[in-house]
Amino acid sequence: MTTTRKRSLTTSLAAAATAALLGLGLAQPASASPNSYPMTHSLGPVVVSPQYPFYEGADVKINQSGQLNVTQHVFDHSWFVGFNGGTMVVLLDAAGNELWRTQQTHGVDGQYVPFGNSDRYYYWTDQVPQNVLNTPGLQVQIVLFNNPQLTFWSTAASIVRQVAGAIKG
C-alpha cells in the first residue's frame, strides 16, 4: 500500500472514530474561528465510559509560537476499579481535514483504593508545527476517551506488595 493511501486510510479512520465519539458526546465539535492567538478551547468534564463513572475534562491553549498547553482532569467515582483517560487534540483545516494531532493517556485509581488517588490533574505540552499554525481557518478539536486498561488488578498487586513490605518491617 502506498504512503498516500495509508495516510488517506488513517485520516479516514480517524475521521470515523471522531464521528463516533461525537455521537457519544465525547468529542467537541471543531471550533471555526480566525487564527487569533492564543487559541483556547475546553471540553468536559464528561463521562467517558458507558459502564463506570469515569470522568474527564481538558483545557487547551495554543500560543502564537505553536506551544500547545493541555490541562487534563481525570477522575473516577467508582469504588475500586480505576481507569486510564485519554485526551487527543486534533487540528483541522477549514474543510475539516486533519492536519496534526497529539494525545496522552493518564490514569487514576478508584475512590476507595488505599493510598490511591481518584482525582488528578495532568499538565502537558507539545509543539504545533509552524506550517499547521499558518493554515487559514485553523480549527481545534478535543477528543476525550477511556483507554480501557482497567487498573484494579495492578493496584491490588501494588497494595499487597506494600502491606507485605510493611509487615516485614
Q: Which amino acid is at 33?
A: S
Per-residue pLDDT tens digits for 27-55: 555 555 557 889 999 998 988 888 888 88
Per-residue pLDDT tens digits for 45-89: 988 888 888 889 999 999 999 999 999 999 998 888 888 888 999
**Contact between 140 and 27 (Cβ < 8 Å):** no
Rounded to the nearest integer, the mean pLDDT of the chain is 79
Task: Note the pTM of the prediction, 2 decimals.
Answer: 0.70
Domain ranges of the chain: 3-163
Is 3-163 CATH 3.30.160? no
Instruction: Report which of residues 22 and 38 the model is more confident about.
Output: 38
